[in-house]
Each structure stands twice: as structure tokens, then as C-alpha cells.
Amino acid sequence: MLLCISGSLRAQSTNTKLAREAARLYGGPHEFGDIRLPLYDADREEADGIPSEVTRLAGQIAGAEAVVISSPEYNQSIPGGLKNALDWVSRTKGTPWRDKPVAIVSAAAGRAGGARASYALRLAMTPFRPRLLTGPEVLVADARNQFDAEDRLMGEMYIRNLTELMETLRRAATG
Ligand SMILES: Cc1cc2nc3c(=O)[nH]c(=O)nc-3n(C[C@H](O)[C@H](O)[C@H](O)COP(=O)(O)O)c2cc1C
């Protein structure tokens, strides 16, 4: 099972659309992880433990054969909600990310397609020691104009690179 995580909570999120396209090209079943979590608070953790939605997300990561994360760029970095999710998951038992094949993609309004967010996410994930793929990069620029009426990704180069990235991810997952 492929796990998709979108860094955007927006209903019409281009990153959620990109993650769906990634799953389609990966092939086979997929599910989405939900990063709509309470804000990390060490006092809350001490008083109430790990919230059930965090345990669920960590379980999805641990159980997935591979993960694709599609993140928007917020002020040249990743959205706080995504970092919050990474921090919460790091507080769970076990090491759900360890050696997990992970592909990072991004969709953004800017011309760089969220390149800085992609790098920031790479850095943010380093402590968890996943198997982060290095490419090909999929950085969808001017993202709101890159999906058709059926939410299919347009643009030959994007489709070609996303196809290759997902083939690489599948190979990493299945050996
Ligand atoms: C707080 C905030 C900061 C943003 N900063 C950037 C940025 O640094 N670079 C960029 O390309 N787009 C930036 N954007 C625009 C987003 O790329 C755009 O809203 C994009 O559609 C968000 O992804 P989504 O469609 O998945 O929600 C920003 C948007 C918000 C709300």
C-alpha cells in the first residue's frame, strides 16, 4: 500500500491533486494520511499521551510499502502543519520512517515549483532516516494552471518525471 501525504489542507489543493496523480502512476492501492492534528504541546502529551489521530498516522507510515509527500511552499519553507505532523509522529513508539522509501514532490504558485520547500522537507526528514529518493525532481510551478478539469496533471515533462519517480519508488519498495 502506498501512503500519500499532502502538506495542504485546502479542499482544492494542487498538492493533494499531485499526490493523487502520483498514486495513479505508482499503481495499486493507496491511502491518504491526515495531517490535520492538534498543535504539538509537550504538556498535552504528558497529560494525555499521544492523540489517537497521531497514532493512526504513525501506523499508516509504518505499514506503508512507500510514502509520497506532496508539499506546498509557504514562505520558502514547508507549511507548519506538515512540520507539526512530523514532530508528533516522532513522539510515537517505534521508528515508522526508518528505511521507508519516500518520494517528495511539490506544487506551488511560484516559478520554482516549491523547490525550497522540497529541500526544507528533505532536511526536516533527515532525523528519521527514511530512504529519500533523490530524483527525478517533480516541482510543479504555477500549480493552479497545471491540472485539467478531471484533476489530471498536464505538461509532458511533469508527467514524464512523475512517472519515472513513481517507478523508482516502486522499485525501492519492492526490491
Ligand atoms: C502562507 C503562504 C505562503 C506562501 N509562500 C509561497 C512561497 O514561498 N513560494 C511559492 O511558490 N508559493 C507560495 N505560496 C502560494 C502557494 O504556492 C499556493 O497557495 C499553492 O497553491 C498552495 O498549495 P495547495 O494548492 O496545495 O494548497 C504561499 C501561500 C501561502 C498561503
Q: CA 16 → CA 38, 50, 52, distances in Å?
A: 20, 26, 23
**pLDDT at res. 175:** 80
Nearest to 85 by CA among 117, 124, 44, 129: 124
Measured in Å, residue 70 CA sits from the centre of ligand 1 at 13
Q: In what helix (H) or strand (E) does residue 67 lie, and over which residues does it extend?
A: strand 66-71
Question: Quick check: CB of 13 below 6 Å from ligand 1?
Answer: yes
Is residue 71 lining ligand 1, measured as CB closer than 6 Å? no
State pLDDT tens for residues 82-126: 999 999 999 999 999 999 999 999 999 999 999 999 999 999 999
- Look up the pTM and report it: 0.98
Ligand 1 centroid–CA 88 distance in Å is: 23
Cα–Cα distance, 113 to 74 (Å, whole number): 11
| Placement of cell 499531485 in the chain | 18
Domain of 62, CATH number, reads: 3.40.50.360
Task: Write out pLDDT tens, residues 150-168.
Answer: 999 999 999 999 999 999 9
Please name the residue whose Cα sits nearest to atom 15 of ligand 1: 109
Boundaries of domain holding 63? 2-174
Number of domains into which the chain is organized: 1
Top mutation candidate among 8, 74, 145 for ligand 1, by most atoms within 8 Å of CB: 74
Distance CA 92, CA 23 (A): 26
Residue among 133, 135, 138 at smallest CA distance from 156: 138
C-alpha cell at 3: 501512503
Q: At 159, which helix (H) or strand (E)? A: helix 156-174
